[in-house]
Amino acid sequence: MIYSQQTLTFAVVDIKLKIGQRIKELREQAEMSQKDLAYASDLDRSYIASIENGQRNVSIVNIEKIAIALNVTVKEFFNENEFNKHTKSSK
């Protein structure tokens, strides 16, 4: 399958939004503020906000820090059913 640059750009934006939405969902379930999560994961609060808003291309290292702070494994973070519920169907 051949992907166009436009398709790849959309995919990158989509994954950033899905990761941000998943972090926000888990943070709210844990009853944590962005400030609490930032402190627990040793990241800046504004960085957490920009990830949640889909504006950052977050590294796997920082995803692991966030997952640990949220008391979930990286596998649980990317749980297919939970992670993919943020996917918008284009069909």
Question: What mean pLDDT is predicted for residues 36-58?
Answer: 97
pLDDT band per the 50, 70, 90 thresholds, residue 4: low
Mean pLDDT of 33-37: 98
Whether 12 is covered by a domain: the verdict is yes
Res 90 pLDDT > 60: no
Task: Report if residue 21 sits inside a domain.
Answer: yes
Would you say residue 35 lies in a domain? yes
Residue 90 lies in a domain: no
User: Which residues lie closer than 8 Å to 14 by C-beta, 6 or more apart?
Assistant: 87
Whether 43 is in a domain gets the answer: yes
For residue 52, what pLDDT is reported?
97
Q: Is 65 helix (H, G, I), strand (E, B) or coil?
A: helix
% of the chain residues with pLDDT over 70: 79
Q: Which domain holds residue 50?
A: 5-82
CA atoms within 13 A on the CB side of 63: 18
Is residue 91 a part of any domain in this protein?
no
Strands (E) located in the chain: none
Q: What is the CATH number of the domain that holds 15?
A: 1.10.260.40
Q: Is residue 60 part of a domain?
A: yes
Q: Using an 8 Å Cβ cutoff, are 23 and 66 in contact?
A: yes
Q: What is the pLDDT of residue 42?
A: 98
**Integer Cα distance of 26 and 15 in angstroms:** 16
Domain count, the chain: 1
